[in-house]
Structure 1
Amino acid sequence: MRHTARNAAVQALLQVEENEGYSNLVLDKVLKAFQLERRDSALTSILFYGVLEKKITLDFYLQHCLKAPEKKMNAAVEMTLRCAAYQILFLDKLPDSAVVNEAVETVKELGKTSSAGFVNAVLRTLLRRKKEIILPTGNDPVSLSVRYSVPASLISFWQEAYGAEDTERILKAFLERAPLYIRSNPLKASFQKLQSSFSDSGIDLKPCGFPECAGILSDCGAPQSLPQFEQGLFHVQDISAQLICEILNPQPGETVCDCCAAPGGKTFTAAEMMQNKGKLIAFDLYRGRVGLIRDGAQRLGLDIVTARRNDALLGFPDLEPVDRMLCDVPCSGYGVIRRKPEIRYKDVSSVSELPTIQYGILQNASKVVKSGGVLVYSTCTLNPAENNLVAERFLKENDGFIPMKIELPASIQRRSKEADHMFTMMPFSGASDGFFAAAFRKK
């Protein structure tokens, strides 16, 4: 098989679909195997994420070009058609005729020579009919699903949870490209010094205003390849995740725990807020992820961080009482769809067991909080069952804790019907990803 951008994209998409792998990890693996030139590597990424983000919309167009739309298609052929349709409908880098020819060659190289004529016919029909095919305009879940390429079942779920208006605002926000947020490391350089360093390299860093070390990087390529990253002057972290640390508000000299810490962004931000003074224990279930936390802390010069393996569902037998506990639990991830587009296709019914796990972790975490200490529960999802219902149950069943008011700047809007110790961050409300936090203080 030729090592082309489309072949690489098709291979990566097939792996995500067949093995349900994380998109970023799958793409990195395929790009490493294909060893493409920088330009082709960039096109592979565009096709890969474009198809993941627009799959339902692409299939709507393709269905209008098939003689027998109900007939099941070979997975490799279908993915090749989606890649080509994405180029035809949303990109203008190649002439349409060249896109069709490339798709025909791709299916041949995938061993589906008998489908070459079929692929050619479908795409030629799309070229003729693309301006005639009209996306549905209704506000029902099926119409919205086609327009925003989010499953109708998830849209119905959000409409019931957050209302029709906010649901469409969520869908519109997830169509936009997520900014690249970073946090400067105040232990090594001021934000202004980092900004100047990037400017010298032709890279733009804009301050967010709040939190004070947060900024948006533009035109930088892979941030991990930058010398400033290697020097530990910043780490990559979405603004919503940084706001969780503001709610936790760790202080220098305290003992703090991040009980489900990987990949470590909140651990790093908390340690920086503590001015690298005190103790910060970071736990994770997987040994490899613990290693990533250790490596990141070393790069950033955060020697108060101790990273250890632990199963939070089994408790924290060797942990001393802590002043502040961050309980950022594993969740369905429906708030980070812009960054992990494959999450949108996760069946809502498949996450029904998560609240039980999350509550178990929260209960265990609460047992090691000092009297007067702070406990923050957080997720990166938009699902009341994993968010406010877990928090409400915790307060109901633990009279040793009281709600602690969450206060953030007015630019970050709270849902009007929310208790003041809870905060749902919507992707359209001044935050970036969809996050949830609840704060408690031990009596």
Structure 2
Amino acid sequence: MYCRMGSIETTSSVHNQEKGLSLSLPRSFLHFLEENGLDPSIYAMIETIPRYIRLEKVSWLSGFYAIPSQIQIAGSKAYRQGKIYGMDAASGAAVSALNVSPADHVLDLCCAPGAKLCMLADLLGNSGSLTGVDIARARLAACRTMLQKYSLGDHCRLFVADGTSFSLLPVRSCMETKPSLSGKNDPDIFAEWTAKRSWRDRKKAAKAGNIADLDQIKSTSPELIFYGRYSGVVGLCKNELFSAVDEPSFSGYDRVLVDAECTHDGSLKHIQKFEDWGWETLERRVLDAKRTDSLLHLQLQLLTNGFRLLRVGGTLIYSTCSLTVAQNEDVVKQFLSRNSLAELRHVEASAIWPCRSGGIPNTLRFDPKTSQTSGLFIAKFTRLAS
């Protein structure tokens, strides 16, 4: 079913005449789109973009089905039983571009809200390891809930940490053997994870939750909030787990996903939410020049650190759901100019994907008109030997 969004003063509507749709956008956002050479009419397509679920068949992306956008999957029996989860196909393409293989050690450096993390765990199956990192404790806790709901957490560990400085490498011990529980009474050795926490752990979590200043969070050590039976954590001494290595070129991760924080202007459903949140909120979150400059710096830092943690010959995917050049091609150009060991690679699977080339060779762009998905930028890197 289609409906017309209510308009407010100082807004202008974008229209899809064929479908009769409209979405009221503030003039400041229209100016933002014009500055970036973006067509405002894409935001009139919100009801024409299908819902995608991770299950089995979208013709160009294995493991996905498309369903009409008005269908709500949250009330379905399959969703409640943890058999399906919603995920945009463009996001699925970003994960697919990593070419995850069995026994890989994978890092998701900005893993919240968790759909890509679940797909990575799904692809790994009963092998390898998956490390999820996010600076937002509440959002990371939601990732933990998803892993448990879908029974995908056995080989995963989750850290509340700053992705620009995270330095922990994968535990390259055998993941297939049963973990030893001999140290379960030793406070310095990780026993099997349980949702029931000790008084000391609850106090520590409460203290962490009261940290309001982001700089304080950045200055603290990574906090492990979840680990599966075969994540390599059980049986380790805590000082073994938290020992950082300065040069991970040969012991780093096989695959790294950096789905960086961005302005989310390529997500139609995200922009639609500002009708309820208030367009003045969009001014602060998306259009503010200082915030944008800060985001560009953050994106480059995340990409740089993710690449630092990648082993020689490994694969890194950088993606954002922004349609702007500044947060995508410009970040890639800056990164390549500073990292001689980084090589931009072609995504082989993209030959059958409904996407277009980005502004740099070998980069990709999904958008509502081209792909019938949300907007997404993808760049694939490999690390060369020095």
For Structure 1 versus Structure 2, the TM-score category normalised by the shorter chain is: 0.5 to 0.7
Distance 1:219 1:413 in 2: 20
Q: Of residues 155, 161, 167 in structure 2, which corresponds to 1:316?
A: 167
The answer to whether the 8 Å contact 1:232/1:299 transfers is yes
- 1:322-362 CA distance string (max 9 Å, x none): 00100011111101133441358423234322101111111
1:234 paired to 2:84: yes
Distance 1:294 1:250 in 2: 21
1:424 counterpart residue number: 365
Q: Of residues 340, 347, 370 in structure 2, which corresponds to 1:399?
A: 340
Q: Of residues 34, 48, 54 in structure 2, which corresponds to 1:183?
A: 54
* Secondary structure of 2:269 counterpart: coil
* Cα deviation, residue 430, structure 1: 1.5
Q: Where does 1:96-135 land on structure 2 (aligned, <5 Å)?
A: none
1:364 paired to 2:305: yes
State the structure with bigger RCO (CA 8 A, min sep 6), 1 or 2.
2
2:331 counterpart residue number: 390
Higher helix share: 1
* Secondary structure of 1:376 counterpart: strand
2:314 counterpart residue number: 373
Q: Where does 1:186-225 land on structure 2 (aligned, <5 Å)?
A: 191=56, 207-218=57-68, 222-225=72-75
* Cα deviation, residue 274, structure 1: 2.3
Q: Of residues 244, 249, 271 in structure 1, which corresponds to 2:99?
A: 249
1:306 counterpart residue number: 157
Q: Of residues 244, 264, 288 in structure 1, which corresponds to 2:114?
A: 264
Gaps of 5+ in 1: 1-45, 62-134, 138-146, 185-190, 192-206
The AA in structure 2 aligned to 1:322 is Y
Using the size of structure 2 for normalisation, the TM-score is 0.67
Distance 1:388 1:373 in 2: 21
Q: What is the Cα-based RMSD across aligned positions, in Å?
A: 3.0
The answer to whether the 8 Å contact 1:315/1:361 transfers is no
The AA in structure 2 aligned to 1:413 is C
Using the size of structure 1 for normalisation, the TM-score is 0.59
Larger radius of gyration: 1
2:272 counterpart residue number: 341
* Cα deviation, residue 169, structure 1: 4.5
* Cα deviation, residue 387, structure 1: 1.1
Gaps of 5+ in 2: 16-21, 172-251
2:356 counterpart residue number: 414
1:279 counterpart residue number: 129
The AA in structure 1 aligned to 2:315 is V
2:34 counterpart residue number: 159
1:332 paired to 2:263: yes
Q: Identical aligned pairs, as a percentage?
A: 24
Distance 1:168 1:331 in 2: 19
Distance 2:42 2:141 in 1: 35
The AA in structure 2 aligned to 1:414 is R
The number of aligned residues is 287
* Cα deviation, residue 308, structure 1: 2.0
The answer to whether the 8 Å contact 1:294/1:306 transfers is no
